[in-house]
Structure 1
Amino acid sequence: MHDLATLRQVNLSAVRRWRYEVPRERSAIGLFADALQKDLSEAGVDEAVRQSLATVLDELLANVIMHAQEASGAMHLRVRVTREELVAQLRYSANAFDPTGIAAAHLPTSIASANLGGVGIAMVRAMTEEFSYQYRRGENHLRVRLAL
């Protein structure tokens, strides 16, 4: 069992914020997803939006675990929800890698036409209003935004 620390929730009128630290292990992603779903549900975020964010973050966290070069330490997430949007910021230490620069892949139109792998970033783009990247002080910073 992993110790997933959800830090104190900050309520600022209609804005809610959470911070999470996720160990760099595949099994920790499920624990994080459960905590996130609970927090967002209690904040009144629609189930479809919660599921979209969970899918996007699962893809991004799994990519860090499986592909990040010279990675170290836990992955850090900040999630903010307002009346208009849901924003998640992912920060992790590793060599610079900008997934927003990956050429757009075409999403399959059916299960039969789908190939294994290669569409995760396209899916992230399709499910978010914003998908941005910065590299600062040895850390990768990803930001995704979903409209409510």
Structure 2
Amino acid sequence: MSFLKITPNIDNLYQLNEFIHSIILKEDFQVDLIVEEVFVNIVNYSHSDFIQVNVDYTDKTLKMEFIDNGVEFNPLLKEDVNPPDNIDDAEVGGLGIHITKELSDEISYEYVNGENHLKIIKIVE
């Protein structure tokens, strides 16, 4: 397992994506979208001092664990939103958690010792 610990700053998203690409040895749009949605939510809302991302990749199975010491928040308890019927009805914000749930093969959450632990499994073809 590899990990990257960074400050919760939007400018660090590129570094995080490059870290994950170096592990899966390619770019993957769905993985990038999941990472961006989770990272941006932590940066914008958690008030944390750090974000640690643990990554393990074997046999096309990518396991990512996002850890932060911010405000306790279980995204799995957030009520699902109805996606808009068309782009004209779309509003900015609110779909990130929904997108993450839809694109992930498995997702779980725990709050342990003052830290949020969001675990995501994604099959990468």
| Shorter-chain TM-score above 0.5 | yes
**1:36–1:83 CA distance, 2 compared to 1 (3 A):** same
Q: Is the 8 A contact 1:93 1:138 kept in 2?
A: yes
Q: Which has the higher contact order (CA 8 A, sep 6+)?
A: 2
1:103 aligned residue (69, 79, 84): 79
- Alignment: residue pair count: 124
Unaligned segments of structure 2, at least 5 residues: none
Per-residue deviation at 1:85? Answer: 1.5
Task: Determine which structure has more spread, i.e. the larger CA radius of gyration.
Answer: 1
TM-score, length-scaled by structure 1:
0.76
Cα root mean square deviation, aligned: 1.6
SS at match of 2:76: helix
Q: What is the rounded CA distance, in whole Å, between the counterparts of 2:91 and 2:81 in structure 1?
A: 11
2:104 aligned residue (121, 125, 128): 128
Aligned to 1:65: 43
1:144 aligned residue (105, 117, 120): 120
Which AA in structure 2 matches 1:87? K
**1:28–1:84 CA distance, 2 compared to 1 (3 A):** closer
1:51 aligned residue (29, 41, 48): 29
Q: What is the rounded CA distance, in whole Å, between the counterparts of 2:115 and 2:15 in structure 1?
A: 23
Unaligned segments of structure 1, at least 5 residues: 1-16
> Which runs of structure 2 are paired with 1:64-83 in the superposition (5 Å)?
64-68=42-46, 71-83=47-59
Aligned to 2:67: 91
Which AA in structure 1 matches 2:79? A
Per-residue deviation at 1:145? Answer: 0.8
SS at match of 1:19: strand
Aligned-residue identity in percent:
20
Instruction: Point out the more displaced range, 118-127 or 102-111.
Output: 102-111
Q: What is the rounded CA distance, in whole Å, between the counterparts of 1:20 and 1:51 in structure 2?
A: 20
